[in-house]
Chain A
Amino acid sequence: MTKRIIVDPITRIEGHLRIEVIVDENNVIQDAFSSSTLFRGLETIIKNRDPRDAGLIAQRICGVCTYSHYKAGVTAVEDALGITPPLNALLVRSLMNIALILHDHVVHFYTLHGLDWCDITSALKADPAKAAKVAFKYTDYPLVAGEDELKAVQKRVTDFVKQGALGPFNNGYWGHKTYHFSPEQNLIVLSHYLKLLEIQREAAKMTAIFGAKQPHPQSLTVGGITSVMDVMDPTRLAEWKFKFEKVADFVNRAYYPDLVMAGKAFKDEQSVIKGCGLTNFIAHEEILLSKDHNLLSSGVVLNGDLNKLYPIDENLIKEEVTHSWYQYENTKEVQLQPYDGQTNPNYTGFKDGKSIGPDGKPIQTKLLDLEGKYSWIKSPRYNGMPMEVGPLASVVVGLAAKNPYITKIATQFLKDSGLPIEALFSTLGRTAARCIEAKAIADNGLMTLNSLIENLKSDKATCADYVIDKNKEYKGRYIGQVPRGMLSHWVRIKNGVVENYQAVVPSTWNAGPRDNKGQKGPYEMSLIGTKVADITKPLEIIRTIHSFDPCIACSVHVMDTKGNKIGEYKVDPAFARI
């Protein structure tokens, strides 16, 4: 007898996500379905606007990946117009990217994912003196893990819990049997969780130094960057450097040791170590260290075979909507290349049916229509195949490409945690890969700053000149690697305005529904085979889904509203009154 479990809302993510799984009599997941339940339509909004505004609007796709879409939007337009920004601008953009990726990864592990690994109630029972000794097992210089510090953290949280108002900690899956840290290890992670809230502020300031603010920086322009005064100011460069060192220090003395600790503690926990199902990966090079040298590698790895690396053919990137709440019109194609992408909404809603309620008994609820459409996310495919993107893909591709930066740290991690290389292809591996990527950036990111300082000695250019010819048609794209994986933005320009705009974002690759051949995406594949210990507390499900770092507003696509002719502009008086 199978049962349906619904988890909605999936919290500690960006956006709105619903997961439904079907479990057998042993509570092992037989099938899984991922659905985004929000539609916004930003790509339609970019259409018919000034191409110079594309980056600013595209950025509002997400306030977490805030800089990723800004850079992508601006770069896609530059690609279309045939502009290469000056090296100073490219290096500053890279500095901002370094800041964002570092920020994102540490925030993800502690704020968004940490409570899936760390049981706070257990931390309160720890012996701080013992915990301080435990911390030295994983690093020679533990951060905020001395006896006094751990004691203070424990007291602070204990006092908070005693007040009876648990705030964000209320109703977590505390005491769940798949938590495997000892009370002392939990206390160490809790201490880092609190420290991170301070560190992430510093990391955000790194973006703001050259970007005005974070989230939603505002210093890129088609052709280059605008923060020329900050770039030419040695005190600003130094400010960036010192903040970088502070964040890098956190990565080396807290984040990395905690992941090694997790690797050892969870190595026998099937729900995080069992294979991820889909083992096709795609990643793009990124993070300019110097003129022609990137930190991360490009390529495609199929079936987890690290001995073969295929180059990316961008024409093979397509999206389909068989199980998405959209329909393609005026075409027989099932999959469309993003330059010609279309997104006409076709909402078919939920079905009524039975699922497992909060007390474990069947109740009548809304269910996803598994045979029909069930998500606002499209299904991107590479050469017809679903692919996983993200830090795990970046590490897998890096290993296949024999990228020295990635290989060194990934090898070190496997050695330190005692995990076999196969363990990378799992929930635990995905979480570790994010840390490996962060450490590669923390260990090498200053190269970018040094390249900039060197270049500024002889070159002051920050912006390239260009014209947008209204009589010409242009098309261009950005493809790159951002915190959640490979991102591409595709733009066509006609009559001096944006004619079509499509963003194929990391969470679309990972969170999309099945395609017309029934091929499932990475979220769905990764859940199948997982045993759920307690169906009323599906911690295993959210832990695996969180390992992808879902960012759902990004993956929610466009519509071209019928009846809204592009050539006409109307303002509804009701809006104008506001």
Chain B
Amino acid sequence: MERQTKDNALFEQISQRLERLSKLSPHNQDKDLNTQLSKKGINRRDFMKWAGMMTATMALPASFVPLTAKAAQIANRIPVIWLHMAECTGCSESLLRTEDPSIDSIIFDYINLEYHETIMAASGYQAEQNLKNAIAKHKGNYILMVEGGIPQGTEYFLTIGADGHTGAEECREAAQGAAAIFAIGTCSSFGGVQAAYPNPSNAQPLSKIINKPIINVPGCPPSEKNIVGNIMYFVMFGTLPAVDAYNRPMWAYGHRIHDLCERRGHFDAGEFVQHFGDENAQNGYCLYKVGCKGPYTFNNCSKLRFNSHTSWPIQAGHGCIGCSEPNFWDTMSPFEEPIGNRLFHTSYDGIGADKTANTVGTVILAATAVGIAAHAVVSSLVKNKDEQ
């Protein structure tokens, strides 16, 4: 009953939000959804199927499907500015892989992608003008998405434009008028690979560069659904989603990989791949003992997978490396060894292994590691006993 009331309130909130949005300087005069869709060459049935999928993805009740559809319809009124900092462009590539909705319909129909260096036609001064104009024209209304870590201190590790301004300056300027800011990928969320020890360029997360609320969408890269889903969330609610301690949206990062893993049954049964290429690997046993970090990693990979559900690391037999967790390059490595079997930072040959144990995050992680390891060992013993 309480749940029902909550849902109704939420429904009302979204409806009001959409009402307000639809009054924002519309590009399309035609308000009828069906006409809109057919104009854009989209089959309505397919569209509603997509809306249903997105609604489920965001853990909303099925009654919200029409709202998702409407949100998508008017989403093209939301301008998006996407900046590239110290990164590998993997997050942009992930965005390009989105299938429902496809990247062309996102660009043509749902958002107004004002600046994105990987796909925009303009270069040089013309590109810089696009950014400047977008910031001025859409002040207070645009979504800012940042990909990559930001070199700080020696900021000249990254300069952009004829006048050689730094990446940090560009972020600060674009952040000022943004309605919402998303750090896309582990690099802008937590610093990422370039911030791994010894962090040669002093790369920092976006949250260290600007003083505004930031939603982190980590992953190396985040799945295409987690990127697009966040745009939709903002369009619908007009507010930022509920987040966890690391500012990750709960709808995407609320569960551990381990919780919904397809190999979880083998974990509980004590059936493990002992080394890559063994018979257990052919049988699809649990990858914990070859280093899977699924028990310590919060993400929805095991539910949504990648590349339109084609696969994900555990299906491909490798095991999770924990890529949506802060500092995972340092805390989760070596990636092909279980955490429970070792002290931290054996990646440095065990040197100074205990120096990090005084940090809160690591202690929690370490405690979890011990628990998981104990479970793995116990279930493994039980299994061996059964076999005898």
User: Residues of A with Cβ closer than 8 Å to B?
Assistant: 6-16, 37-42, 44-45, 48-50, 52-53, 56-57, 60-64, 66, 111-112, 115, 120, 152, 156, 159-160, 163-165, 167-173, 194, 197-198, 200-201, 204-205, 208-219, 221, 223-224, 226-230, 232, 345, 347, 349-350, 355, 357-358, 365-366, 460-465, 495-497, 536-538, 542, 553, 558-561, 564, 567-571, 573, 575-578
Contact = CB atoms under 8 A, between A and B. Distances in A.
Contacts of A201: 96-97, 99, 102, 307-308
Contacts of A558: 200
Contact of A38 (B157, B192, B200): B157
Interface stretch (B2-10, B173-181, B321-329, B368-376): B321-329
Contact of B281 (A14, A40, A173, A228): A228
Interface in B91-117: 91-94, 96-97, 99, 102-104, 107-108, 111-114, 116-117
Contacts of A208: 306-307, 310-311
Contacts of A365: 162-164
B57 interface: no
Contacts of A198: 102, 104
A157 B349 CA distance: 57
26 contacts: A7-B124, A9-B127, A9-B160, A13-B117, A39-B157, A41-B200, A45-B198, A49-B347, A60-B90, A60-B193, A156-B108, A167-B108, A170-B120, A171-B130, A201-B307, A212-B314, A218-B313, A218-B321, A227-B318, A229-B317, A345-B200, A365-B163, A537-B126, A559-B200, A571-B330, A571-B359
A198 B99 CA distance: 8
Given A53-B333, A198-B102, A212-B306, A578 B160 contact: no
Contacts of B228: none
B146 to A, nearest CB: 14
Contacts of B127: 9, 11, 171
Interface residues of B, number: 116
B196 interface: yes
A63 B194 contact: no
A380 to B, nearest CB: 20
Given A9-B124, A171-B122, A564-B198, A39 B151 contact: yes
A333 B367 CA distance: 51
Given A52-B335, A66-B90, A463-B277, A10 B316 contact: no
B352 interface: yes
Contacts of B27: 163-165
B40 A48 contact: no
A553 B117 CA distance: 14
Contacts of B66: none
Closest 4 CB pairs of A and B: A63-B90, A463-B277, A172-B121, A41-B200
Nearest to B345: A569
A9 B362 CA distance: 40
A63 B93 contact: yes
A10 B114 contact: no
B310 to A, nearest CB: 4
Interface string B17-58: 000000000011000000000011100000000000000000
Contacts of B195: 575
Given A53-B333, A355-B162, A461 B277 contact: yes
Contacts of A209: 310-311
B88 A212 contact: no
Nearest to B105: A197
Given A63-B221, A163-B27, A568-B352, A170 B307 contact: no
B362 A194 contact: no
A160 B108 contact: yes
Nearest to A460: B282
Contacts of B305: 213
B41 A152 contact: yes
B276 A49 contact: no
Given A53-B334, A212-B315, A63 B87 contact: yes
Nearest to A569: B352
A172 to B, nearest CB: 3
Contact of B282 (A197, A221, A229): A229
A168 B91 contact: no
Among A221, A347, A497, max chain B CB count under 10 A is at A221
B229 to A, nearest CB: 17
A156 B123 contact: no
A63 B306 contact: no
B118 interface: yes
A204 B307 contact: yes
A231 B312 CA distance: 15
Contacts of A559: 200-201
Contacts of A567: 351
B307 A205 contact: yes
A55 to B, nearest CB: 10
Of A49, A223, A462, most buried by chain B (CB within 10 Å of CB) is A49
Given A111-B96, A201-B308, 6 more contacts: A8-B161, A63-B93, A173-B121, A205-B310, A208-B310, A577-B359
A218 B122 contact: no
B117 to A, nearest CB: 4
A11 B313 contact: no
Contact of B120 (A11, A14, A152, A226): A11
B108 to A, nearest CB: 5
B306 A213 contact: yes
Contact of A210 (B103, B316, B345, B355): B316
Interface of B: 27-28, 39-41, 76, 79, 84, 86-94, 96-97, 99, 102-104, 107-108, 111-114, 116-130, 151, 154, 156-164, 190-201, 203, 205, 207, 220-221, 223, 246, 275-277, 281-282, 284, 305-308, 310-318, 321, 326-327, 329-330, 333-337, 345-349, 351-352, 355-356, 359-362
Contact of A14 (B112, B114, B118, B362): B118
Given A230-B316, A569-B351, A63 B89 contact: yes
A575 B191 contact: yes
A156 B203 CA distance: 42
A226 B362 CA distance: 29
A159 B76 CA distance: 13
Nearest to B122: A171
Nearest to B314: A212
Interface centre among A44, A62, A213, A218 (most CB of B within 10 A): A213
Contact of A226 (B93, B117, B196, B276): B276
Nearest to B283: A229
A347 B156 contact: yes
Contacts of B154: 347
B349 A39 contact: no
Which interface residue of A9, A15, A197, A568 has the most chain B CB atoms within 10 A?
A9
A475 B361 CA distance: 37
A150 B97 CA distance: 24
A8 B158 contact: no
A6 B123 CA distance: 11
Contact of A60 (B92, B118, B220, B334): B220
Given A49-B333, A213-B306, A228-B277, A7 B123 contact: yes
Contacts of B351: 567-569
Contacts of A159: 39-40
A349 B172 CA distance: 22
B158 A64 contact: no
A456 B159 CA distance: 51
B162 to A, nearest CB: 4
B94 A215 contact: yes
Nearest to A364: B163
Contact of B355 (A56, A66, A232, A571): A571
Contact of A214 (B126, B129, B246, B307): B307
